[in-house]
Every structure is written in C-alpha cells, then in structure tokens.
Copies of this chain bind each other. A is one copy, B any other.
C-alpha cells in the first residue's frame, strides 16, 4: 500500500501577498518509483523569496508554476524506495521535490547529501541554493578585493549572511543591512560582519556614510527599493552592484520600483549585474566543494530557522520571508527523520 501524500498546490495566482485561498491542500497516494526513479520522504522544505516570482504568470528564467500544480520547492528528504542504481533506501538527498510529503523523482534529478557532514537544513541553506547564490554572485560578479568594502542587504537572510562571511574570507570589509536590533547583533556577533545597519531604526544613507567612508566597492542586493537607491548613492568608483533579488518588490501590486539613483553608475563608472544561481550550473560542484571545505573548517557559520508544524504550515511560513521574520535560512520541517 502506498503512503498518503499531502501536497500544497497553487490554487490561484496571487495579487500582492499570497492569501490562504491562493493555495489548496490535497491528498493522493505517494506512488511508486518507476525505472531509474526514487520515492523520497520529504523531511524539510526550503522557503525561498524566489518562490513568489514562480507564482506569477510571467516570462522569467524559469516557467511559472501552473495553477493546480504542486508548488515548486527545494527540499531535503530520505529515500524510502529506489529503482536507481546510485541511491539506496535510507540515503539522504536534496532536489526540487515540491511542496509535498513524498516525491517520486528521477534519481538523476536529486543530489545525495551526507548528514554526518552537515544537517539537511544546512544542505538547503549554506550548502544549497542560497549558499551557492552567495558564492557565485559575490565571487564571480562582485569579485571583492582585499581591503574593499562589501555591503549586503538582507544580511541576516540565507544568502546575505553567507555573502558577508565570504567577503571577510576574501579580506574585504563586510557591512550588512538588516531589519531589527537582534538581526544586526546576529550579523556582527555571530557571523563576524564588521558592521550592521538596522534599516528599521536607522537612516540607511547615514549608516552607509558612517560605515563606508570610502564608498561601497561591492553592493550585493537582495531587496531592491529604497535600500538599493541608498546604496547606489554611496558607490565608490568602479563599484560592482550585484542584483540577486528584490524581496521588497515581489509582492508589489503596482509597477516595480526602479532604482532612481541609477545614474550613479555613470558618475562612478560602476556596473550593475544580475544573475540567478542556475546560470552557474556547470560550476555548481566547485561551489559545493569550496563551501563544504570552509564550513567543515569552521570558517563559515550556518544558521537555519526551522519552522515546525508540518506541510500544512507552508502558506503561513512562506509569508515570514516577506515579513522579514526569519534569521538565517528558513525551512519547514515536514517530517521527523526516522
């Protein structure tokens, strides 16, 4: 008898913040793996700001999730049945398994992880998509030099926290922008940033003047909006702006807000470059190898914010990203690893 699989499906395209009625909670048999496939019991779902974009019917770097489809989600789980030569029952894997309790997928579409080396949530964070996003975005596009000043927004988030730590490993100064005193404390005291600016209680432009007296050499943007404009106004000559996300704008119901200070690029001979981590598919293993090395050597701190309550809590847990409620990588525990 197949196990029961519950699923979170997209019921309607959201306008603004996703509402409960934009989702449906469904039930069907978990199914059996066919040739080359595995059945994975999902332990943790990854909650990522990019999910909001996947819900829109718009041409982007990836096709939108169809209305009625299981929500696209990265996840970590345990193989419970296998018809794939490389994977055995009990192996831990990550991949695009969807917002559900069980997934039948090609064994080639998942990656085996080692829970002795790092926890499954860490494989969804620092050793997963957010960590690789930080690695390639900062090092390949921002390429900070020793002594330069790197500023990152969303600094207490899954990507931003890694960006600042990688900047420090390159010998650069790291300044984070985050919301709230506790996040700022975390960024400086736990992650080792040189300074943090609390955008909820401080003027960001003033904070940037104070902490970046010679300007910003690399600005890694996760948020867009006013903070992007404040950073643009403070660029150093030949600055590199890395566009990784714009979480402040993802739920906007009107037009997206463009950076009105973009002419700072002209004045400073600066560049603004966007990317998505899938652009680096051919170098992904390099990123995982490097990041694993730093993590196991104690040079990188990884923190995950684990939401409890099972799959049904997916809709409300996702909203925490847009409220800025999480510190570190936000994951939802779907099942115990037993």
Contact = CB atoms under 8 A, between A and B. Distances in A.
A268 B274 contact: yes
Given A265-B272, A267-B274, A269-B279, A256 B260 contact: yes
A8 interface: no
A244 interface: yes
Interface residues of A, number: 32
A260 B256 CA distance: 5
Interface string A266-297: 11111111111001000000000000000000
A331 to B, nearest CB: 24
Contacts of A266: 61, 243-245, 274-276
A273 B265 contact: yes
Contacts of A269: 273-276, 279
A243 B265 contact: yes
A52 to B, nearest CB: 12
A262 interface: yes
Chain A, interface SS category: loop
A262 B262 CA distance: 10
A255 interface: yes
Nearest to A53: B263
A57 to B, nearest CB: 15
Contact of A267 (B60, B264, B267): B60
B262 A258 contact: yes
Contacts of A260: 255-258
A263 B276 contact: no
Given A269-B276, A270-B274, A243 B258 contact: no
Interface of A: 60-61, 224, 229, 243-246, 249, 255-276, 279
